[in-house]
Structure 1
Amino acid sequence: MVTLSDVAKEANVSKMTVSRVINHPEQVTKELRSLVEKAMKTLHYSPNSAARALAKNRTNVVKFIILENIDTTEPYYMNLLFGITQGLNRHQYALQLLTSVDEITKGNADGYIITGARSSDSEWLDKLDKPFVLFGENRYGYDYVDTDNKIGEQIATQYALNKNYQSIIFIGINEKEAFEYSREAGYINTLQSHNKVPKIFRLPNHSHSAQHFIDEHWKEFAHNTCFICASDRLATGVVRAIIAKGGEIPKDFGVIGFDGIFLDQVSHPKLTTVKQPIIKLGELLSDMLLQKISQSGAQQGELLIEPTLIKRDTTRN
């Protein structure tokens, strides 16, 4: 097995210099770094990730905290988890999955990725002593990665207008959170730019809630209406209700969801939806957190990724 001493001998430098190149490259000149890296390549030497972590006083562990009911959000979080893991694996970091705030301070970690945080969580978030980033927009100045929710619903609403639906209704999630406000803003701004009056209903994020709502208010919805929904869960409930009432999709009624993770494909007819790049978002969360850790907790800001509209059978061709 090739050792640190072997690399030092090959590069004609001290073991301390090799260690610095591996653990603190910013402290070594470009020339010395080049010499050591060449020797490592020649000898096929790979630094031990555990040893490097120890040298930097790190654990090489990131905790991922889900603050929502996983039973009602899968496979959404499975895709996010896959993306986060891919990002961490590139840097030899391990992932620990938590589902309770009480578990955060148990054991050691270099930082946290947190999803499902709400306004009421700001009090304990402010007390965390390790770097963290959020998945999801927030208005409290925390670093985050998310889909550009506003742009997503702008695209969806404009598409409904282009397909000549005369009435365009927004079915939102009854959460007073930044992501929902942004989705509503995308819908409202687009309609108002066409001199149309917005109409918004907010429901719990469950398909049966949307199905019950449409069933109860069916007589209020004229033909040539498109429902812009803040989630695929709501959209699938709207679709079921319209079909049960004898409405024709997409001729008389259109439905557009938001997420594009599994439910849009099992819906019948298949759902037109705003697709979030969840796996990519997971990778970006990992990248942002690891950069924040390497920069001693420096602020990273926000990163919004534009989603895409997937056109399927619940809207006109």
Structure 2
Amino acid sequence: MGVTIGDVAAHAGVSKTTVSRVLNGKGEINKNTVLKVQQAIAELDYVPSARALAFARGSTRTVGMLVPDLAWVYSGIVQSVVDTLEAEGFGLRMLSVSRGEESLRSLGLKVAAKSFDGLLVIEPEGALEYITALHEASLPIVLIDDRFRRPGFPFVATTNREGGAQAARHLLESGRRRPLVITGPEAYGCTRDRLGGFVDAYAAAGIEIDPRCIVWGDFQFESSRCSVERALADGVEFDSVFAHNDPSAAGVLAALHAAGREIPRDVAVVGFDDVELASYTYPALTTIRQPMREMGEAAALLLLEHVRRSPEAAASRIIPTSLVIRGSTQQPHSP
């Protein structure tokens, strides 16, 4: 059995009524008493029923958004969420887990105090179990781009596997038969999906990718640059590179330029995500567009449906990727 309001009251040395008043923000309560109750909630990891709190206090017209440390990567999602919520008359409260367990305890206190009506999550590592517990306690939650596995609550994701296949088909149509793949972190579901779709598309064309041409990466510019340098030094033959995100692809371009390889004549390069950087590399980067803004809008609207207890609320949504062709795979036409 989970922690109850009675457990919190006993731990804080107050009555259950006092705990309830702190949770619901009702009545005048001594500041020291409030602090004792909040400390008890944090120490016991108490997760109150969001449904009961909503009934007691009504809507805050505010949505929380939990983001990982590298929130800038998801700026398109965040801006779309802000725009969508604003149009619906809701505000946004940004949260992070940069301090690990301390941040999760702080999140628990904010849920306990009913600081927001629902939670959007760009999944921070190690927090899924805690977030699931909040959902099971009736807090409306929507996960954006789950990287590991399908959660037990609503999510908005994209077609990572099909995106990998789109990259492969484009390279195959361009006559590229010897690709080098710079992946993302091996533990990420999106990495496995992007690699699986890419490898399967080449297999369907009768081409088995040399295991030496699959390099596990970390989504970072510098490591990708070094990976390409090592491949060149080791004499690995490749006529194209599929990098699992755009910063990695930028690192690939840097290494190829330094080695005197002409892009795309000697080596074609495809990235993934279509972040702003992709338009400003030289040459501009062909990439698989992950629909960040559409995902943010869909997630915000889906969460509001669940906050409003709409009977038509969808379980989840999948928004497809698309290929964006630029100069890193396509030679400019001569005048």
Give TM class, smaller chain: 0.7 to 0.9
Residue of structure 1 equivalent to 2:42: none
Counting only pairs closer than 5 Å after superposition, residues 201-280 of structure 1 correspond to structure 2 as: 201-220=215-234, 225-280=239-294
Output the amino acid matched with 1:256. Answer: V
SS of structure 1 residue aligned to 2:330:
coil
Output the amino acid matched with 2:116. Answer: A
SS of structure 2 residue aligned to 1:126:
helix
Q: How far is 1:310 from its partner? A: 1.2
SS of structure 1 residue aligned to 2:133:
coil
Q: What whole-Å deviation, never above 9, does each CA across 1:77-133 have from its counterpart, x for those lacking one?
A: 221111101221222111001112433232411110010334x32321122131111
Distance 1:286 1:174 in 2: 28
Residue of structure 1 equivalent to 2:154: 143
Residue of structure 2 equivalent to 1:12: none
Alignment CA distance shift 1:210-1:111 (3 Å) = same
Distance 2:311 2:282 in 1: 47
Alignment CA distance shift 1:164-1:212 (3 Å) = same
Residue of structure 2 equivalent to 1:104: 107
SS of structure 2 residue aligned to 1:203:
coil
After the TM superposition, which of the residue ranges 249-258 and 79-88 deviates more from structure 2? 79-88
Residue of structure 2 equivalent to 1:127: 133
Output the amino acid matched with 1:166. Answer: R
Output the amino acid matched with 1:161. Answer: L
Output the amino acid matched with 2:202. Answer: L
Match of 1:189 among 189, 193, 200: 200
User: Does 1:82 find its partner at 2:79?
Assistant: yes
Distance 2:313 2:182 in 1: 35
Q: Which runs of 5+ in 2 are unaligned?
A: 1-53, 98-102
Output the amino acid matched with 1:204. Answer: D
User: Does 1:174 find its partner at 2:185?
Assistant: yes
Alignment CA distance shift 1:192-1:279 (3 Å) = same
Calculate the TM-score normalised by the size of structure 1: 0.76
Distance 2:55 2:281 in 1: 50
Residue of structure 1 equivalent to 2:18: none
CA RMSD between the two structures: 2.3
Residue of structure 1 equivalent to 2:29: none
Q: Which runs of 5+ in 1 are unaligned?
A: 1-52
Q: What whole-Å deviation, never above 9, does each CA across 1:11-44 have from its counterpart, x for those lacking one?
A: xxxxxxxxxxxxxxxxxxxxxxxxxxxxxxxxxx
Q: What whole-Å deviation, never above 9, does each CA across 1:232-251 have from its counterpart, x for those lacking one?
A: 01100001001101111101
Residue of structure 1 equivalent to 2:69: 68
SS of structure 2 residue aligned to 1:251:
coil
Match of 2:301 among 254, 277, 287: 287
SS of structure 1 residue aligned to 2:307:
helix
Residue of structure 2 equivalent to 1:157: 168
Output the amino acid matched with 2:76. Answer: N
Distance 2:289 2:142 in 1: 22
Distance 2:235 2:312 in 1: 51
Distance 2:296 2:289 in 1: 15
SS of structure 1 residue aligned to 2:127:
helix
Match of 1:312 among 326, 330, 333: 326
Distance 1:299 1:180 in 2: 30
Distance 1:121 1:99 in 2: 11
Note if contact 1:143-1:299 (Cα within 8 Å) is conserved in structure 2. no
Q: How far is 1:221 from its partner? A: 5.5
Calculate the TM-score normalised by the size of structure 2: 0.72
Output the amino acid matched with 1:247. Answer: R
Distance 2:85 2:58 in 1: 18
Distance 1:289 1:81 in 2: 14
Distance 1:194 1:269 in 2: 28
Percent same amino acid at aligned positions? 23
Match of 1:117 among 109, 120, 124: 124
Q: How far is 1:296 from its partner? A: 7.5
Note if contact 1:139-1:178 (Cα within 8 Å) is conserved in structure 2. no
Output the amino acid matched with 2:157. Answer: D
Alignment CA distance shift 1:154-1:194 (3 Å) = same
Distance 2:235 2:287 in 1: 21
